[in-house]
A and B are shown apart, each in its own frame.
Chain A
């Protein structure tokens, strides 16, 4: 029997075979992982449309949202002692005048709409649409300062800018006018010196949207006034309506301005 010298052929074959197999395995794994990665990357880089804020980056508030009977948590506001009942009544009268004449109601009343709000989260702004007669809210997410008050005409919805803090959208609004429906939930009213901070956060797995409002106004509140609304997501397929308002409708005007007749 001849003694084999040098490297053991079987051992050599086995070693090279093992190396070959390991190499094949590695290649297949690299290919598979690469495919998964490329696919995932391709999908994540194809958002709803070009330039849209991807849902993966921030929560999507887009959709229709409606208030329910249990949606409002509005504690009583701490008003300055200088605020008189006469002043509060004057604001309420102005609110009714706004409704009577089909004027834009503005903030914050438009957020209390009984019809669903439509939120569209675009590339550089988030828009909140109410069916109540009102200008839409433009919440700009592409800028970090408000316009110069010297060039900005105060409006009922003010000027809103926003940024994300984690999963929460923080909105900062100034530049309000004193026109429209000014009374706030819990008491007090909007004025040109009002400053509103809001936090929008999805809760309950995105089925609900909680919005916390904090109003500051050195001419109205003794301390910041905070309340919260919880909106419920409306199922897909909802069609927005229009709250058409005709200020020349005399019968409607009588209903709104004359005292109701007592039921006997």
Chain B
């Protein structure tokens, strides 16, 4: 009996120790995960809004006020208006099937498609454009020496509560650089966007452009996107620069040289 008592006592002690260790490890892991969430604001374990899906603009979606432009930007806009009045193809990128880029692709009638993963959000337009890559893995913007500026720029995002804040730099001036409300994207441009779900059917994005060569003060506007139904699929808006007819039809010029036809 004494032997049994000793064996049971030691057995219980061992089990108690094992169970306590398991419980401690479990609680420590849980606490670490929670502190990690609150520290970075965008970690593996965080439950964040889901922007995935197809989103389109409606007739009343664009909330744009006139930008306050620098004299140089006003002169550029006037030159563009004069060329348009003279019947020239104003947007070179559209005529020659260049990537259109930001902010054009966010403001058109075809829907945008958002695919969200832990480390990256992709935004895809049916327009002729490269996709947007918004990195959420905590990286910084790349060194200018190691990144060739692009029409969509380089975007990094972080979560601020239920809002996604996206910071974009490293823009090129190519593509379709016109900004709603006036002004244009250039190599000095800096864009901050805030993505927020109004409800599960509406996504609001606030755009704030900053560029001292273009704007007297940061220019802000916002769009409200409507979610498209499940089963929506993407189209391809292919562009053929060798086809001059649509441009002539719309009053444009700049036929492709004969030798390339």
Contacts and interface: CB of A to CB of B under 8 A. Distances in A.
A253 interface: yes
Counting contact residues on chain B (CB < 8 A from A), the size range is: 35 or more
Interface in B53-86: 53
A80 interface: no
B16 A46 contact: no
Nearest to A45: B47
Contact of A33 (B9, B22, B48, B259): B22
A87 interface: no
Contact of B238 (A103, A120, A244, A257): A103
Interface string B74-106: 000000000000000000100111110000000
Contact of A242 (B49, B117, B150): B150
B143 to A, nearest CB: 10
Interface residues of A, number: 75
Contact of B50 (A17, A21, A49, A242): A49
Interface stretch (A136-144, A198-206, A212-220): A136-144
User: Considering residues B5, B122, B254, B256, which has the most beta carbons from chain A within 10 angstroms of its beta carbon?
Assistant: B122
Nearest to A60: B117
B199 interface: no
Given A25-B12, A29-B19, A136-B124, A102 B98 contact: yes
Contacts of B122: 118, 120, 127, 129, 136
B26 A35 contact: yes
Contact of B117 (A21, A97, A122, A153): A122
B47 A241 contact: no
Interface string B171-197: 010100000000000000000000000
Interface of B: 1, 4-5, 8-9, 11-12, 15-16, 18-20, 22-23, 25-27, 29-30, 33, 44-50, 52-53, 92, 95-99, 113, 115-120, 122, 124, 126, 128, 130-131, 133, 135, 137, 139, 142, 147-148, 150-152, 154, 172, 174, 230-231, 233-242, 254, 256-257, 259-260
B241 A102 contact: yes
A250 interface: yes
Contacts of A35: 22-23, 26-27
Contacts of B233: 138, 140, 147, 152, 159
A240 interface: yes
Contact of B15 (A28, A142, A241): A28
A49 B22 contact: no
A100 B26 CA distance: 60
Tell me what chain B mostly uses at the interface: helix, strand, loop, or mixed: loop
Given A36-B26, A62-B117, A241-B150, A49 B97 contact: no
B23 to A, nearest CB: 4
A43 B45 contact: yes
Contacts of B150: 241-242, 244
A239 interface: yes
A25 B172 CA distance: 68
Interface string A123-155: 111010101010110101011000100001101
A247 B241 contact: yes
B148 A241 contact: yes
Contact of B120 (A42, A106, A120): A120
Nearest to A153: B235
User: Considering residues A48, A157, A257, which has the most beta carbons from chain B within 10 angstroms of its beta carbon?
Assistant: A48
A46 B52 contact: no
A21 B124 CA distance: 64
A129 B241 CA distance: 22
19 contacts: A32-B26, A39-B29, A43-B45, A46-B46, A48-B118, A49-B46, A103-B238, A103-B241, A125-B115, A129-B122, A129-B131, A133-B99, A138-B124, A138-B233, A147-B233, A153-B235, A155-B236, A239-B135, A244-B150
